[in-house]
Amino acid sequence: MKDGKTYEGKIIDDTGGDILIKTSPTDARPKLLPAPEVLSVVHDPVAPAALDPQRYTTFEMLLTGSVFSSKHFSLDPAPGAWLGMGLRFHPVVEVGAGLDWKPALSGDLGVTDGVLLRSYERFFFYGGGFSAKVFPFYAKRWPAEPYLIGVYGWDRLSPKGSGDALKGSGFKVGAGTRTPLWKNVFLEARFLFQRVEFDRIYFLRRNGSLDPKILSDSYTLSTGLSVRL
């Protein structure tokens, strides 16, 4: 106040410049402070709303190791990388997208158009897709949070130096865990099974269909970091 006094309490009304304040929880009568006598009004700071730890955006960078199985061709085990992002809009569900890249594959594949036969031994693979994670134990406060994951994507297997490519799509399913390391940084670890159906080909500068279609299965272990925003 201008006379040097200080009043502390809950402001009930401050319209028109006058302050109506309740200074004691045991005294039901509020005190009126006329505007001409008030020097300044100081409000307690409003605490910021806490962020929901189960609703966020995440970015993940994972190293992968895959083994392959197919009746139509053979591929040796190979390393790769996954770069993705996701939005956890509900404590149970996170949706996202990502890119899968395997730069150095070796194996044995032969393709013919009925006239010319080409054999390949070195490949690179890349693909992309949309993912969904389900957190069945979201209510538990475990150090590592487990989840189930499904991915639908499109894939391209390209023999190196040929200009040719096998194109297809498929599903990935698996499970993983997310473990906090430091602040918003987490350790990701997951296992995925993937089945790809290659049904199209770019061969000798021409697009065509594969008959029969080529099926390829893979089993992938991934680990890396994710950052939560």
Site of tokens 């000798």: 204
Please give the average per-residue pLDDT across 189-215, as a whole number: 92
Q: What pTM did the predictor assign?
A: 0.73
Please report the pLDDT score of residue 217 as a whole number: 95
Give one word for 4, left, alpha or beta, with left for phi > 0 and alpha for psi -120 to 50: left
Q: Above 80 in pLDDT, residue 104?
A: yes
Please report the pLDDT score of residue 48 as a whole number: 61
Q: Where are the beta strands (DSSP E) in 113-205?
A: 117-134, 145-159, 165-182, 185-203
CATH number given to 56-228? 2.40.160.20
Please report the pLDDT score of residue 52 as a whole number: 61
Please report the pLDDT score of residue 150 as a whole number: 96
Site of tokens 């790769």: 80
Please give the average per-residue pLDDT across 106-123, as a whole number: 89
Please report the pLDDT score of residue 51 as a whole number: 52
Tens digits of residue pLDDT in 58-103: 999 999 999 999 988 899 999 999 999 999 999 999 999 999 999 9
User: What's the Cα-to-Cα distance from 41 to each of 35, 69, 158, rounded to whole Å?
Assistant: 11, 74, 71
Give one word for 36, left, alpha or beta, with left for phi > 0 and alpha for psi -120 to 50: alpha
Tens digits of residue pLDDT in 125-178: 999 999 999 999 988 888 899 999 999 999 999 999 889 999 999 999 999 999
Please report the pLDDT score of residue 25 as a whole number: 76
Q: Please give the span between the terminal C-alpha atoms of the chain, in angstroms, as a whole number.
A: 45
Structural domain spans, the chain: 1-47, 56-228
Site of tokens 């799509």: 169
Tens digits of residue pLDDT in 19-63: 888 888 777 788 888 888 888 888 887 766 555 667 899 999 999
Please report the pLDDT score of residue 18 as a whole number: 84
Report yes or no: 122 and 158 within 8 Å, Cβ to Cβ.
Answer: no
